[in-house]
Chain A
Amino acid sequence: MKDSRLTQYLPYLVVGLLALFPLVESTFYMQLLTKVLILAIFAMSLDLLVGYTGLVSFGHAAYFGLAGYALALMAPKYETVSLWWSLPASIGVCALFALITGTLVLRTRGIYFIMVTLAFAQMLFFIFHDTKLGGGSDGIYIYAKPLMKLGEIEVANLEKLEHFYWLVLILTGATYLLLHRILGSTFGRALLGIKVNEHRMRALGFPVFKYQLASFTLSGALAGLAGYMAAVQYGFVNPEILSWHQSGAVLMMVILGGMGTLYGSVIGAFAFVLLQEVLSNQAWFGIAAKHWQLAMGIFIMLVALYMPQGLAGLAQKFRRKPAEEAADE
């Protein structure tokens, strides 16, 4: 009982502590934490597909990057745009693109699905890389952060690090609650049913394709939310943000944290960024830090081989042990 009460309040405690983080007054760590939270939204959006619908997408960066480009192309140069319309518009573009690609990729399964999602993401990469539409391989700068004004009152000034940080924190919490709510609904249960046994769901009368398409579109839209925030944070977009390395990284976060557990995606984003920072720290690893991807690659392979349930899986193993023993007696 004690245990369940702890897990019940733990998320609020964590969010509370994170909300107080700007008191630390470290620009570096606040930017890093903002980045982690944005990636947590991104990872949660992918977990909806991989962990709850059973669809392994290897092209999720497409929706992340597309939102950034949507913002950059909508923002007039040197002028500020309002967040109130540019955010929904960017998310809408991603949802629409996910809806269109979803109707195509969902005609395939398994290995095909993985390849086709990757190929469509790559198509988008080449559109922005090869044409002048998005500034080619150099990308586009977003000179001013979007405005958050209600009438004359400024709700938040995103040029200020802590304001942007708080906004991202709120959005991360909101994404978690939204997905948590959806996954507990009849819709969410049906998605899980499709993941476990798609054929049986169809025989029971579920229009499986529609459910998958809804999940795919929602997932793309939430990836767009993360991508918009990432573009605001960095102040520029270039084709790299929708490259397949980005898709691989976010898949790694989902699995490292533990797929099929939303909080696992948040933990995974933290762990992945932390690891990246540590491995590429020149003060610690000197010249080897330049080749940090080697260590990262080996780590990813080890996780795939020996930790398929991720950190959340490890935690559950340790927590369940005493309870299971008690139940057996």
Chain B
Amino acid sequence: MDFAFFLIQLLNGLQYGLLLFLVASGLTLVFGIMGIINLAHGSFYMVGAYLAWSLSSMTGSLTVAILLAIPLTVILGMGLERLLFRHLYQRDHLYQVLLTYGLILVFEELRSLIWGDDVHGVAVPALLNASIPLTENLSYPVYRLAISGVCLLLAAGLYFLIQKTRLGMMIRAGASNRDMVQSLGIDIKLIYTLVFALGIALAAFAGMINAPLSSVFPNMGGQVLIICFVVVVIGGIGSVKGAMAASLIIGLAETFGQVLVPEVAGMIVYVLMAIVLVWRPEGLFGRS
């Protein structure tokens, strides 16, 4: 493997890992703060991708489509939290699993009714439709770099939000002591709604920006969901830092696995998970 090829794989792995982080961070926040397991999290990734496709084919611009789709997904997230998820906070995980499994079926069928069952491609925005040449016949697409950059910006924003702002302080306090937060007169319900909507919007946004690379197809949420579960298990539930570390590990492992040992590449992430379970069952950054 020469250096240019290695560099391409490295960048691909990082880009994939960063994208996973967007989806997994929302999942882990909702787990950690509300104690909710949301199987339908992957469906929001799919919704984001389909919105990006349908709105960009209407408006002719992916950027415009994303700007339109983000508020839609935030509203969707807030609405679902109020209507459905709020009833689940005090319930056994079993019922959370069942309800969100039902939700997946509903989302898949609605997708089929509204957008059909075909695979669609999404055009890369003209401005970013270029490649950086590395050697004579190897080059790296600018759009992938742009995705990585946007993900890094969002990750930094998320870190700032959680560590430095008043809302973040409340989020952290809510995760550790619900009663205390409520007795301080903080509106925990509002925090929950906001956190849930934030998680959903992050997953949907990941679907939107990745649509030109992955294209848009039925059941695309399922695969992402399970990889994100692995990310959360490796990183530790509720830990955004852990989600970042695990996402990058998984992203790199899968990308290099596909190049070096294509036959067993699909297994690598699960083997990693098994190793972490044996070595540190609470996850790399989890609290035991």
Interface string of A282-324 (1 = CB under 8 A from B): 0000000001011011111101110010000000000000000
Give the residues in chain A near B278, CB-CB below 8 Å: 104, 107
**Is A116's beta carbon under 8 Å from chain B?**
yes
A23 on the B face (CB < 8 A): no
Complex interface: chain A residues within 8 A of B265 (CB): 130
Residue pair B105, A119 in contact (C-beta under 8 Å): no
Query: In the complex, which residues 21-65 of chain A have their Cβ closer than 8 Å to any Cβ of chain B?
Result: 50, 56, 58
Q: Mark each residue of chain A from 74 to 117: 1 if its CB lies under 8 Å from any CB of chain B, else 0.
A: 00000000000000000000000000000011011011101110
Cβ-defined contact, A107 with B277, below 8 A: yes
A223 contacts the other chain (CB 8 A)? no
In the complex, whether A244 has a CB less than 8 A from a CB of chain B is yes
- A176, chain B: closest CB distance, angstroms: 22
Main SS at interface, chain B: helix
A111 touches B222 (CB 8 A): no
Q: Is the CB of A122 within 8 A of B270?
A: yes
Q: Are A300 and B102 in contact (CB under 8 A)?
A: yes
Whether, in the assembled complex, A248 has its beta carbon less than 8 Å from a beta carbon of chain B, the answer is yes
Chain B 265-277 per-residue mask, 1 if CB under 8 angstroms from chain A, else 0: 1110010011001
B266 nearest CB neighbor, chain A only: A126
B37 and A120 contacting across the interface, CB-CB below 8 Å: no
Contact indicator A251/B97 (Cβ below 8 Å): yes
A248 partner residues in chain B, CB cutoff 8 A: 101, 104
The reply to whether A104 and B94 contact each other, CB–CB distance below 8 Å, is no
Residues of A within 8 A of B99 (CB): 300-301, 304-305
**C-alpha spacing A303/B222, complex, angstroms:** 23
Report chain B residues within 8 Å CB of A300. Answer: 98-99, 101-102, 105
Instruction: Answer whether residue B168 sits at the interface, using C-beta atoms and an 8 A cutoff.
Output: no
Question: Quick one: closest B residue to A298, CB to CB?
Answer: B106
* A4 touches B (CB below 8 Å): no
The answer to whether B31 has its CB under 8 Å from any CB of chain A is yes
On chain A, the residues within 8 Å of B35 by CB distance are 111
Q: Are A304 and B237 in contact (CB under 8 A)?
A: no
Q: Give me the interface of A with B, judged by CB distance under 8 Å.
A: 50, 56, 58, 104-105, 107-108, 110-112, 114-116, 118-120, 122-123, 126-127, 129-131, 244, 248, 251-252, 255, 259, 291, 293-294, 296-301, 303-305, 308
Contacts A58-B97, A107-B277 known; 7 new A-B pairs at CB < 8 A = A104-B278, A114-B93, A119-B229, A126-B266, A130-B266, A248-B101, A259-B94
Residues of B within 8 A of A (CB): 31, 35, 37, 39, 84, 87, 91-95, 97-99, 101-106, 108-110, 112-113, 222, 226, 229-230, 232-233, 237, 263-267, 270, 273-274, 277-278, 281
